[in-house]
Structure 1
Amino acid sequence: MPSLHRLTLSLALVLAGGTLHATSVAAAEGQSAAAIPYAQIEQLRADRDWLAALSLIERHLNLHRDDARLYRLRVLTLADIGARDRARTLYLARPEAFSAEQAASLNAAGLARRIVWSKLYAVDEATRLEEARAADAAIDAYRADLARSGTPEPASLAYDRLIVLNRLGRHQEVADEFRRLENSGHPVPGYALGAVGDSLLTLRRPDEAALALERAVQADPEDPDLPIQLGYAQLERERYDLALPLLRGLVDARAPWPRAPGARRGYENWPRYDAETNYALARAFGEDLPGAQAMIEPLAAIGPNNADLQATLGSIYMFRGWPSRALERFSIASTLDERNVEARIGQVETLSTLQRYDLARPIHDQLLARYPNEAHVRSMDRSWDMRRGWQARVYAAGGRNRDGGGASPLGNRDREYGVEVATPLIDDRWRLLARSGRRWADFQGDRSVAQRNEVGLGYAYDRLDAQLYLGRDRDGLGGTAIAVGAGWRIDDRFALRARVSRNDAAASLQARASDITGDLYEIGADYRPSERTAVSASLQHWRYDDGNDRDQLSLALDQRLLSRPHLLINGLASVGSGRGSRDDAPYFNPSRDASAEFGIRLDHLAWRRYDRHFRQRLTLSSGAYWQQDYGTAWVPSLRYEHEWQFALGRVLSYGLNWSRPVYDGQREERLGFDAEFRWGE
């Protein structure tokens, strides 16, 4: 029976409510418009007591639904409390109740609200741009109405549309409209210049973007995002001298845990977080990778569920040469937030570096389908095509040796040139290979020439890469040439390699002048703990046709000494030792020899604009060379080179070499030149 009691009570309350509502409506039918307290409502609005005013308006509007003045007060009050899209919707339902000035204000405020919504992060990717499209459609409809009525467009409409176009990825339209407004004497106000700067950066026009963003910062110095945008514009202009102090200043100016007056503890300061993470990335771009890592790792430890932090740390690990560690961070970020585009781009880049195109392709294709106009996605796709497409190398080199008395294994003059080609990837693993080269050297008037054509097959998947080449010299000396090489990546730091080559193309031309060829067996190991250190070791065994066996052991170190945004200085060191089994070979073949060399390399980035750059490198070294029966001599060397990158995967480099080596106790002077053009990775 209790349930019946509850049902009876509920029914009684409903009936009572219905009776009371009907009674109040019936009583209201007799009220006149004079009973509506317009003065009280206007006073509440003047006192900015919006909720009390709105409550009074709604109460009387229920009784007088056709009252135009009440309806107008309702719409204006909604606009005043921030419900501007709703206010505009209600205005459009009864536009005759409003003055032209009120109509213009409501339209502008409502459209501005839609624009703000278009900048917010969508709940899912399918609706990411829905609000921006809705705002664009509303602006177009409003402009059409104004055109039909002959009413001039308010100036703010063009400025607001810049924001919408930026959000929609129509960056060229933003740039064109911005220039039109500026040239027609309508300078764009500060609130829209952030969108303009973003579009100009996307169009790779950083100089113009920096000017626009400087104006935006001046107009709204309290906006926490604008200085960061300006910092990136300066980075893309290669003005690290402006960008790094700017971003560091933001970090210093924003306390991590600011306190409100009287508060016992501070609160989270997200503008400080934005400043700190972006400053760390700027340091990474400026070659200070250890410093960037030291900033981000503690933050990621504090907030392990922050997708942006995980993606940022992944980028830094990738810059440092740790693709496996980077992939782990990018995968975590993508799991935490599948909308994080940078994390998914990072997955594609790291998986490609790790030679797992089969895993990278679904992510790559999904990104292209969902974000075809996103600048970073387009850049990822260009890199994808470059890695997987045609690969080629054209090279030439030559030199001249003086004062050596004919002992030089390189001859008095020498030349080398050739071409190497690889097809696009087949089934994510295979490439067809081909190469052709010719080299010659003059030995006291006699020329030794080797010209070879080869075809091959390349395989690269996960940790393993391997190549097989088959070829033959034009003169048939040595018969069929076969070369097999393989490499195994142990982890991000260690790698092993091995090669076996019958009738090897790099065998001594001096030996070839006596119709002697050589086979090569080589093993090696590489250790690269970071981008700042590289150690390599190799052991070679040469087996010549004349019965001579020659062994060579070498160890090399390349260590970063100084890192600046446009200058890298590396220290170089190498040691080597060799021995030959024959003392009477008709070519340079020391019974025992050893060397130790130390040097320095200066790598100066003279100019860069996105994928294009010009670098110059200067390498100086000197070392001791010891040869059995001939003693020790100091050997200096110098190299200067240029590198031009015309586009991603299009690189031309050339350089001059000078050295004073010693062979069989005879010192000579060598001057050499080399050049190559690389197409692809």
Structure 2
Amino acid sequence: MSAAVRLALSLLLAVMSPTALPAAGETGTARSFDTRMQHGRALLQAGDRFGALREFSLASQERPGDRDARRALADVLMELGAPQAAARVLAPEVDIGVRARLAGERVRWGSQVATDPAARFKTTDEAIGQLGALLVEARALPARDIGLERRLLGDLVIALRDRERWADALATADTLAQEGPLPSYVRQAQADALLAMRRPEDAIAGYQEALASDPRNRDARVGLFYAQVEAEEFGAAFATADTLVAQSPRSRQVGVTARPLPNPDWLDAQILRSQSRRYGDMPAGSWQVLHPLASQAPAAPYLRLEHGEVAGERGWPRLAHDEIRIAHSLAPDEVPIATALAEAEFERRHWREAERRARQLAAIDPGNDRLRHLQADLDAYRGAQLVLSLQPRKAEGGGLTAPGSGMSGALRAYTPPLGERWRVFAAAEREVDEPDDERLVRNRYGAGVEGRWPDVTLELVAWSNHGLLAHGGADASVQWQPDDRWTLEIGAQAFSSATPLRAVQAGIRADAASVSATHAWSASSVASLSATTLDFTDGNRRWEGVLDFARTVVARPNVELVLRPALYASRNSLRDAPYFNPERDRSVSLTADLRHRLWRRRPTTATWSAP
């Protein structure tokens, strides 16, 4: 119950309670000051603080100048968590104990009332200043009040935590710990700071201590979940999230009403459960939890945000962008939602909009790690880029025209963006085959332009070929993604890089045309079909077709197994060519890709600023 509610109830009791009026046959003086003071003390000793408040309030009204009545009334108000009301009663003689409670209340107020994101720390900064001044005053008292000092230090830890001055919060907690064990609420704030400083193992111990004092402490359990995720203890994180779900029924009974009311903690627990699977590289499990809820609660901003985050993890960037835009429209001042929207805009190639939003957010929350990662991605986008690829290959058999083992390498240097969509690049490629005792080499040097839009990628390149055969060439390709599931691509090449080196050695070139279609049910289930035709200058026409499928069959934290079955077929119209050229060719393959992350540690980063 808030202090304002408590005070309002107290005033109502004072005005409406029958005992506030003289009993039958009782004179006003007999039931006045002394009797009310005695009655109030008896009620307070019996644990009836509201009854005591009523009696002390009426006694103080009879003798407004009586110091004992004012002090008794202020003491009860302090016990009821209404230090502002106590300060009004004692004014102007407000002692340091009441002022300390006022500063502590300002700390809690500062974490709840910020409406302007750019000034969200204003009240907290004021509270930090007040607490610092009160600490100086308390330490200068003739008789040291250890309890007062510890309470001030504890509130200062909370304020520094809320201000995101993590290192200062830890240092203050260490000072408080020198005088004895930390109170549970301070230990929890210390764990929050430890987690922010990327010390999750230490944070886990702090949250567990806070939960040992109060197993129903929801905030401590949520903090424990994020610390376990950061420490990559995913089994424990799943268990913590499932415990929160179990402790959060859909409805709850509030007060004396018999009608159950919706429980807001239930939806929060479902979102946390989804996050646990998403962070653990199991987005399909997150989708199963969250997707049915998103259609039932379309106006819940953080539900829409998590729905979009999961969509992004599943390889659906358009749906992710749409969902996060909805979340932002519902809560435009929420920095985490705005940051996620900037990331979604970056993924959808709305680079200028992402840059604009990132600049605005940096002015509000410069210490945001997620925003710093986005800014690093934007810096990479704005800069020049260098791409290098090497592809060694081993081949045996195939007859006299077999290509043999070899190596292919490609290097591309891109300029910074020209406008928002275009880049110019220079390219160099080298292909080496070593059939038998020969060494066949082809070098290609080229220059081109690339255009990138949200749904379309265009590339045009002019080539100069050297080595076995000096001749010009060109490539053109267009890729179109009409939605999150389909990707279509067409391409044409003059003097294709797919021309076998044996053919180039014989002075033969091949032009190529290709078309492909890819359908992704999700990032974990993708099928593609492609067809290519090569027109050789010796009159041969080659047709190639590839059908492949990729399916993630195991998805666990740090472990992923992907199976890739593929079918290849080709046909050539010409026989007895001086290069590997079977009339018909078919192959079936199955590839298993196993990824197991053995260890990962993010760098420790922390920022703080003076109040």
TM-score exceeds 0.5: yes
Aligned partner of 2:82 in structure 1 is 83
Aligned length: 567
Residue 606 of structure 1: SS of its match in structure 2? coil
Pairwise CA distance, 1:81 = 2.6
Partner of residue 54, structure 2:
52
Which residue in 1 is equivalent to 2:280?
286
- 2:461, 2:476 within 8 Å by CA — same for their partners in 1? yes
Distance 2:428 2:482 in 1: 32
Deviations 1:638-673 (CA, angstroms, capped at 9, x unpaired): xxxxxxxxxxxxxxxxxxxxxxxxxxxxxxxxxxxx
Seen in structure 2, the aligned counterparts of structure 1 residues 375 and 72 have a Cα distance that, compared at 3 Å, is farther
**Alignment correspondent of 1:236:** 230
Task: Indicate yes or no: 2:566 matched with 1:564.
Answer: no
Task: Tell me the TM-score normalized by structure 2.
Answer: 0.84
The corresponding residue for 1:510 is 502
The corresponding residue for 1:395 is: 389
1:369 alignment partner in structure 2: 363
Q: Deviations over 1:273-327 (max 9, x none)?
A: 3222201211222233233222223333332221111111111111111111122
Shift in CA distance, 590/562, structure 1 to aligned 2, threshold 3 Å: same
Q: Report deviation, 1:179.
A: 5.0
Aligned counterpart, 1:629: none
Q: How does 1:146-295 map to 2 (within 5 A)?
A: 146=138, 154-179=149-174, 184=178, 186-259=180-253, 264-295=258-289
Partner Cα separation in structure 1 for residue 236 and residue 598 of structure 2: 17
Cα displacement (A) at 1:510 = 2.2
Q: Distance in 2 between matches of 1:93 and 1:451?
A: 90
- Alignment correspondent of 2:608: none
Match of 1:673 in 2: none
CA 1:159–1:264: 2 relative to 1, 3 Å: closer
Give the counterpart letter for 2:82 in structure 1. A
Q: Deviations over 1:122-179 (max 9, x none)?
A: 3342442222122112112212334555757712322322211121121232344445
Where do 1:561-640 residues align within 5 Å? Answer: 561-610=553-602
Residue 557 (structure 1) shift: 0.6
Separation of aligned partners in 2, 1:167 and 1:268: 29
Asked if residue 328 in structure 1 is aligned to residue 322 in structure 2, the reply is yes
The alignment partner of 1:255 has SS state of coil
| Deviations 1:534-580 (CA, angstroms, capped at 9, x unpaired) | 11111112223333222211111111222222222222221122112
Letter in 1 for 2:198: R
Deviation for aligned residue 1:433: 1.8
Question: Measured at CA, do residues 90 and 586 of structure 1 come closer, stay the same or move farther in structure 2, by a change above 3 Å?
Answer: farther
Does the C-alpha gap of structure 1 residues 503 and 222 become closer, same or farther in structure 2, counting only changes over 3 Å?
same
**Aligned partner of 1:517: which letter?**
R
Residue 60 of structure 1 and its aligned partner are, at CA, apart by 4.0
- How far 1:506 sits from its partner (Å)? 3.9
Q: Hey, what does 2:106 align to over in structure 1?
A: 114
> Which residue number corresponds to residue 451 of structure 1?
443
Give the TM-score normalised by structure 1: 0.76
1:129 aligns with 2:121: yes
Match of 1:548 in 2: 540
- In the aligned structure 2, how far is the partner of 1:584 from the partner of 1:502? 24
Cα distance in 2 for partners of 1:603, 1:445 equals 38
Q: Is the 8 A contact 1:87 1:110 kept in 2?
A: no
C-alpha contact (below 8 Å) 1:448/1:512 kept by paired residues? no
Determine if contact 1:36/1:60 at 8 Å carries over to the other structure. Answer: no
Match 2:372 to one of 378, 383, 398: 378
Which residue identity is paired with 1:311? L
What CA distance in whole angstroms lies between the structure 1 residues aligned with 2:158 and 2:450?
Answer: 50
Task: Note if contact 1:478-1:517 (Cα within 8 Å) is conserved in structure 2.
Answer: no
1:428-447 → structure 2 map (5 Å cutoff):
428-447=420-439
CA deviation map 1:8-64 (0-9, x unaligned):
xxxxxxxxxxxxxxxxxxxxxxxxx99997556555655422541453255246x53
SS in 2 for 1:440: strand
> Are 1:464 and 2:464 an aligned pair?
no
Distance (whole Å) between structure 1 residues aligned to residue 140 and residue 41 of structure 2? 34
Q: Deviations over 1:356-399 (max 9, x none)?
A: 22333332222222121233333333343344444333333434
Shift of 1:86: 4.8
Deviations 1:451-482 (A, max 9, x none): 23322222111211112222323448342332
Question: SS of the counterpart of 2:408?
Answer: strand
Note if contact 2:36-2:55 (Cα within 8 Å) is conserved in structure 1: no
Please name the residue that 2:332 is paired with.
338
Sort the Cα spacing of 1:265 and 1:147 in 2 relative to 1 into closer, same or farther, 3 A: closer
Structure 2 vs 1, CA of residues 300 and 499 (structure 1 numbering), >3 Å: closer, same or farther? same
> How many Å apart are 1:244 and its aligned residue?
0.7
Using the alignment, how far apart are the partners of 2:326 and 2:137 within structure 1? 49
Match of 1:354 among 327, 348, 351: 348
- Amino acid across the alignment from 2:366: P
1:467 counterpart SS class: strand
SS in 2 for 1:458: strand
C-alpha change, 1:197 and 1:428, in structure 2 (3 Å) is farther
The 1:38–1:253 alpha-carbon spacing in structure 2 relative to 1, beyond 3 Å, is closer
Distance 1:423 1:436, change over 3 A: same
Tell me, yes or no, if the aligned pair for 1:57 and 1:74 is still in contact at 8 Å. Answer: no
Task: For residue 407 of structure 1, report the CA deviation from its aligned partner.
Answer: 4.1
Matched, 1:525 2:525: no
When residues 472 and 300 of structure 1 are mapped into structure 2, their CA distance, relative to the original with a 3 A threshold, is same
Gaps of 5+ in 1: 1-32, 613-681
Distance in 1 of aligned mates of 2:409 and 2:175: 54
Identify the residue that residue 672 of structure 1 maps to in structure 2. none
Percent of aligned positions that are identical: 25
Write the deviation string for residues 262-281 of structure 1: whole angstroms up to 9, x where unpaired: 86542222333322220121
1:545–1:89 distance in 2 versus 1, CA, 3 Å: farther
What is the Cα deviation at residue 449 of structure 1?
A: 0.9
Amino acid at match of 2:589: E
Asked if residue 306 in structure 1 is aligned to residue 262 in structure 2, the reply is: no
SS of 1:226's partner is: helix
Contact 2:251 2:260 in 1 (8 A): yes
Determine if contact 1:391/1:423 at 8 Å carries over to the other structure: yes
Determine the C-alpha separation between the residues in 1 that align with 2:85 and 2:254.
34
Q: Please tell me whether the aligned partners of residues 73 and 89 of structure 2 are also in contact (alpha carbons under 8 angstroms).
A: no
Superposed displacement of residue 491, structure 1:
0.3
Match of 1:653 in 2: none
Which structure's residues are more often strand, by fraction? Answer: 1
Contact 1:527 1:534 in 2 (8 A): yes
Hey, what's the Cα distance between the residues in 1 that align with 2:603 and 2:308? 22
